[in-house]
Amino acid sequence: MLSLTGVGLAIGLIGGFAVGYETEAAAREKAKVKKREKEEAKKKAEWERQKAEEARLRMEEEKRKEEEFSTLEELSEMVMAFSINYKGIIDIDIRQPQEKIVTDYFTERKTAEIYLKGTSALKGYNIVYNVEFISEIRSNGNYVYKVWMAKGNAAYRKYRH
């Protein structure tokens, strides 16, 4: 049998144990929260690093495309182009191979022409005939816009001696 004092002492011990247990549980919970926060901070840092890398790669790609476009623009000046509607005489060397050239779609017609003539020049041709521009209307939500594609036959010009 326990006396009243013994019961109080037992409750005090149990209470102390319970308080100590709560403190350990709180410490474990704090440790879990800190660990979770640390992992989230790591993930956030990794995400930010990936975004920065993607931005860097996008900038490099844009720079490469600008350089490619300026090269094509310079080369396109060396190629003569004749519309599909042209009814005059075009001096084509029929002994040399010819190739049909088709561009991608571009937001500006002039860009499609530069790519057509530049691609022809890169392949060694110096004349493009039967040039045709094809437009297509596209939309993105409420935004409606026109894109252009160019196609034509690339050939070698016949030189008269």
- Amino acid of residue 61: E
The pair of three-digit structure tokens given for residue 113, joined into one six-digit string: 């022409």
Question: What pTM did the predictor assign?
Answer: 0.62
The pair of three-digit structure tokens given for residue 9, joined into one six-digit string: 């002492």
- Residue 129 near residue 79 (C-beta atoms within 8 A): no
- pLDDT surpassing 50 at residue 48: yes
Same domain, 56 and 90: no
Domain boundary among 76, 101, 121: 76
pLDDT digits (tens, 9 = 90+) for 55-91: 999 999 988 888 888 888 888 888 999 999 999 998 8
Q: Is residue 123 part of a domain?
A: yes
Calpha distance 52→45 (Å, rounded) = 10
Same domain, 69 and 3: yes
- pLDDT at 46 (0 to 100): 93
* Strand partners of residue 137: 146
Q: Which domain holds residue 55?
A: 1-76
Same domain, 108 and 57: no
- pLDDT at 9 (0 to 100): 47
- Residue 125 near residue 156 (C-beta atoms within 8 A): yes
pLDDT digits (tens, 9 = 90+) for 6-18: 444 444 555 555 4
Count of domains forming the chain: 2
Same domain, 14 and 41: yes
- pLDDT at 23 (0 to 100): 82
pLDDT digits (tens, 9 = 90+) for 98-135: 999 999 999 999 999 999 999 999 999 999 999 999 99
Same domain, 87 and 141: yes
Domain boundary among 29, 61, 76: 76
Same domain, 71 and 8: yes
- pLDDT at 7 (0 to 100): 47
pLDDT digits (tens, 9 = 90+) for 30-46: 889 999 999 999 999 99
- Residue 101 near residue 152 (C-beta atoms within 8 A): yes
Which contiguous run of DSSP H or E holds residue 135? strand 127-140
- pLDDT at 71 (0 to 100): 84
CATH number at residue 84: 3.30.110.70
Domain boundary among 76, 105, 140: 76
- pLDDT at 85 (0 to 100): 94
